[in-house]
Structure 1
Amino acid sequence: MKHIEKGVSLRHAPRDFLRDLNVDNASTGLVAGILGLSVGVVHISAGTAAGLDSSFIMIWVISYLMINGLFGIFMPAYYRLPMPMANSIPGALMFAAVIPVVGLEAALGATLIAGAISLVAGLSGVMGIVMRLMPMPIVMGMVAGMLLSFGLNMVRPLENAIVPATVMILAFFLSARLLRKVPPLIVSMLAGIGYLMATGVDLSGIEATIRFPEFIMPQFTLNAFLAYGLPLAIILVGMETPAGVGLIKGMGYKEVPANAITAVGGFGTMVSAFFNLHSTCIAAPMTGICSSPEAGTHEKRWVAAVVAGAIFVVAAPFYGYVVSLLEATPRYFIAIIAGLALMRVITSAMAIAFSGRKHEMGALFAFLIAASGIQILDIGATFWALVLGVVVSMIFETKDFEFASNAHPLKKQPAD
């Protein structure tokens, strides 16, 4: 445990939460929570496409919210950092695809092993070393590329839904300029809701159901581990943690517990394996929202992550109702809110990546690869953005690495 970074404390977390809670971090946490809830639709789509039973799909999503919500309350409360927890979307797509091939219990057994690998990577201190050695411009290039789709999805409704998109975006910028004490995200959401109510949203299909996570015993097969478990471990260690850590550092936080994030994610993934869930990890897009300037001052942004985690836990048993509500809301609504929340994160990441000082070509490749969304060997783009970004930088920008400068002999010092 010596490599796990020490946090603040859980003893006074409730008191400090109430002390630091304000309109800025509460509203930002609400936006992050809503974004996280909407991700459940990805699970439902992936599971349905793979032919999975609808009852299992709902339990899968409920476990995603309940388990990751609990970890998402613990981590930011202990470290006082904006570190919301969720699950790996690439992992979810692989999980849904592999179940018909190897079976649910075997897939969960592979999940358990992947979690153990991530736990060991965190406990051994490997993740902290990797993050210290990884050039920050390349990490930020990856982050900017990963979040670019949120910015694009924010402006795309201007083509087919120009009136509501214009109303929501203008409400954000005008309130930011004129209503200094009211979070612009809340104004934009209210403007969007007002438009939907004025135009008549059909809520007749909304149904309320209550369910909770269910226990299941995993099984272990080599085939499932090679087909799914090993790629999942690579994603958790090589993609999810660097993305989350990079986002937090990009927002001005100097000390980020990379080892703890990896270890806790690994432990959470092992717990998840017994409840029909494929992973637990830091949630990169939600982290971008909770760590953004919209969440207020640095020392109080952790509250936004706790709010998001609490929303997960409360909403989990009623997710059938939440899905019906989200389906009744036009897609542009969440897309615009998420894009507005992440704008300053995207600009900050791009400013660090393309400052023109070091690793500019590596950062560019990392940005392009992450933005492309390509998958190589069934591993997502953000992992390859880091790997290939470093490779390109090592070839064309060798002098930008510290080891290269250290390899040169010291210049002869002038005599006194």
Structure 2
Amino acid sequence: MQGVPAGLLAGFVGFASSFAVVLQGLSAVGASPAQAASGLMALSVAMGLAGILLSLRLRLPVSVAWSTPGAALLAATAAPAGGFAEAVGAFLVCGALLTAAGLWKPLGRAVAAIPAPLANAMLAGILFTLCLAPVRAVAEQPLAGLAIVLAWAVVARLNRLLAVPAAVVVAIGVIAASAPLSASGWLPEPVLVAPSFTLAALSGIALPLFIVTMASQNIPGLAVLSANGYRPEAGPLFAATGAFTVLAAPFGAHAVNLAAITAALCAGEGAGPDPSRRWVAAVVAGAVYVVFGLLAGAVTVFFAAAPPVLIQAVAGLALLGPFGAAMLGAVQAPQGREAALVCFVVTASGVAFLGIGGAFWGLLAGGGMMLLARWRA
């Protein structure tokens, strides 16, 4: 069956291309290595099971993934004052908002009504700092950094989908050759975190996480399905991914959502000539995610032994494509360009005010500029 190799590729690319971003993001908001491993495991298992169940039920290639832009948002956010418990509380609220967006149409329409230049500018601002990491890696660890970047650049000329996995393989080789590995923590161990809810975490993490997940993952994911001839009802899909987020959040998972890139692998012609059978690819991809989830402990132990800048370099390479697309979407149209640039600069500054991160203030500043421009007009 042609859908099987397509699903295997989608699962491998989906995990290998961005798990470093997830680990970086969870660590940035206060997760210990054990909690980060638990979060990675919970995300992988949740998105794998969600993709399997939705694809089997609807007989459609519904690919589910973690929120890579959301993980980048966490990586650019200062750890909450109350530690990882506050972040987990924000993850739960984000899951509730995703569920509500599927069940209550006005909320979904409100998110879709956010001007595209502002949504893209906020995302570009979130990604910008991480995208500088490969340069810092070359400066701080010249041999290792150059090896990772060159592997990415060379393989990208042959097959862009495999470029980041190739960088991961080189990073693994560098770490194995130079870093001592811990003897414990290799087996998956779910860590239950009691959530804490604060206004700063809700406005600085939960709300921006919800917006970037909807605008950068769920809506594009639907567009990919539609472009391939599949038009499922959006509400139940949003609600289902939100419910899986709520279930996985207490174990450290930040957000589960519809996939975009891997959705194209599972819904396109590469998954088979018969569109009615391409759901098999999404089911296989989901199974691959579950398997990777069971290996999350080993992955985390391995990468915890590496210099942080090398992990950040892999994450930055994975985010260059999304950053370029977001920046283009932010400034492409002359109308609203100034507001988008203000949103980008404020978000990229990383400045926190009243305990709330730059993403929220960037969206607020850009929105204010856009309203002012319309008032003047």
2:339 is the alignment partner of 1:368: no
1:359: how far off? 0.7
Matched, 1:234 2:210: no
Q: Please name the residue that 2:118 is paired with.
A: 138
* 1:141 CA displacement: 1.2
1: CA distance, partners of 2:163 / 2:36? 35
In structure 2, the gaps of 5 or more residues are: 272-278
The equivalent residue for 1:71 is 50
The RMSD of aligned alpha carbons is 4.9
Of 352-361 and 259-268, deviating more is 259-268
Instruction: Give the corresponding residue for 1:267.
Output: 243
2:6 counterpart of 1:20: yes
Match of 1:170 among 145, 150, 153: 150
Q: Tell whether the 8 Å contact from 1:69 to 1:86 is kept in structure 2 after alignment.
A: no
Greater relative CO, 1 or 2 (CA 8 Å, sep 6+): 2
What amino acid does structure 1 have at the position aligned with 2:358?
A
Match of 1:355 in 2: 332
| C-alpha distance 252-116 of structure 1, shift in aligned 2 (>3 A) | closer
1:152 shift after superposition = 0.6
1:170 counterpart SS class:
helix
Deviation at 1:243, TM superposition (A): 4.0
Per the TM alignment, residue 300 of structure 1 is displaced from its structure 2 partner at its CA by 6.0
Counterpart in the other structure of 2:30: 46
C-alpha displacement of 1:147: 1.4
Give TM-score, length-normalised by structure 1. 0.65
| AA partner of residue 207 (structure 1) | S
CA displacement, residues 238-295 of structure 1 (integer Å, 9 cap, x when unaligned): 454234347669999778987556533432344346x555754439xxx687579xx7
State the SS of the aligned residue for 2:334: coil
Deviation at 1:325, TM superposition (A): 0.9
1:411 aligns with none
- Relative to structure 1, the CA distance from residue 94 to residue 229 in structure 2 (aligned partners, 3 Å threshold; closer, same or farther) is farther
Distance 1:246 1:362, change over 3 A: farther
Q: Does 1:244 align with 2:228?
A: no
Deviations along 1:15-58, one digit per CA (max 9) or x if unpaired, are 674263475x4553242353266248617x7145xxxxx98786
What does residue 6 of structure 1 align with? none
Q: Once the two structures are superposed, what CA deviation does each residue of 1:130-161 show, in whole Å capped at 9, x if it has no partner?
A: 24422212211112112112211121112111
Alignment partner of 1:329: what SS? coil
Residue equivalent to 2:274: none
Structure 1 residues 307 and 142, CA gap change in structure 2 (3 angstroms): farther
Aligned to 2:65: 84
2:4 is matched by which residue type in structure 1?
Answer: L
Distance in 2 (CA, whole Å) between partners of 1:148 and 1:214 is 31
- Count of residues in correspondence between the two structures: 362
User: Cα–Cα, structure 1 residues 310 and 398, in superposed 2: closer, same or farther, change >3 Å?
Assistant: farther
| Rounded Cα–Cα distance in structure 2 between residues aligned with 1:81 and 1:181 | 23
| Residue in 1 that maps onto 2:131 | 151
1:282 aligns with 2:257: yes
Once residues 303 and 343 of structure 1 are traced to their aligned partners in structure 2, the CA distance between those partners, rounded to angstroms, is 30
- Structure 1 pair 345/268, CA: closer, same or farther in 2 (3 Å)? same
Residues 168, 230 of structure 1: alpha-carbon distance in 2 compared, 3 angstrom cutoff: closer
Name 2:275's counterpart in structure 1.
none
Secondary structure at the aligned position of 1:156 is classed as: helix
**SS of the counterpart of 1:388?**
helix
Q: Structure 1 residues 374 and 297, CA, compared in 2 at 3 Å: closer, same or farther?
A: farther
Question: What amino acid does structure 2 have at the position aligned with 1:360?
Answer: R
**Separation (CA, whole Å) in 1 of partners of 2:137 and 2:175:** 15
| 1:351 Cα deviation from its structure 2 partner | 1.7
Measure the CA separation in 2 of the matches of 1:304 and 1:227: 41
Scaled by the length of structure 2, what TM-score is found? 0.70
Using the alignment, how far apart are the partners of 1:194 and 1:110 within structure 2? 36
* 1-structure distance, mates of 2:375, 2:284: 44
Equivalent-residue separation in structure 2 for 1:257 and 1:97 (angstroms): 40
Question: Aligned to 1:205, what secondary structure does the other structure show?
Answer: coil
Q: Note the C-alpha offset of 1:84.
A: 1.1
- What amino acid does structure 2 have at the position aligned with 1:282? N
Tell me which residue corresponds to 1:408. Answer: none
Offset of 1:353 from its aligned partner?
A: 1.3
Residue 391 of structure 1 pairs with residue 377 of structure 2: no
